[in-house]
């Protein structure tokens, strides 16, 4: 299961999605801090099939977690080369053009 927040603004659809168990964690790397907040990622909890549909229809995607990134890359949305790791957690941002 995944925690997701979909934001529609004008003609753009942005998706923030993470592996549910990451909610509430704060990740650190050198002087960089990333908070996996409920406000940003947790509008609703979705199953794999709904997550796939959200990934397909979104223009910009912020992803955190092994499971969601694996699903996205398997679907051809983003590549493993674009994945960064922060405090042991994979993170990927995708902009569809």
Say which CATH number the domain at 17 has: 3.30.1860.10
Query: So what's the pLDDT on residue 50?
Result: 97
Report the pLDDT averaged over residues 5-33: 93
Q: Is the pLDDT of residue 29 over 90?
A: no
Q: Is the pLDDT of residue 32 over 80?
A: yes
State pLDDT tens for residues 36-84: 999 999 999 999 999 999 999 999 999 999 999 999 999 999 999 999 9
DSSP 47-82: -HHHHHHHHHH-SEEEEESHHHHHHHHHTTSS-GGG
37 SS3 class: coil
Dist CA 7 CA 28 (whole Å):
26
Query: So what's the pLDDT on residue 96?
Result: 86
Q: Are 8 and 52 in contact (CB under 8 A)?
A: no
Query: So what's the pLDDT on residue 57?
Result: 94
Q: Which domain holds residue 13?
A: 2-95
Dist CA 76 CA 36 (whole Å):
24
Q: How many domains does the chain have?
A: 1
Report the pLDDT averaged over residues 12-30: 94
Report the pLDDT averaged over residues 13-17: 96
């Amino acid at each position: 299961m995944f925690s997701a927040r979909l934001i529609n603004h004008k003609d753009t659809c942005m998706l923030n999605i993470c592996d549910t168990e990451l909610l509430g964690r704060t990740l650190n790397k050198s002087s960089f801090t990333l908070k996996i907040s409920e406000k940003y990622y947790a509008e609703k909890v979705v199953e794999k099939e709904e997550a796939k549909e959200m990934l397909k229809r979104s223009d910009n995607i912020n992803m955190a977690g092994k499971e969601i990134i694996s699903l996205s890359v398997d679907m051809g949305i983003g590549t493993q080369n674009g994945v960064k790791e922060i405090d042991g957690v994979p993170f990927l941002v995708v902009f569809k053009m």
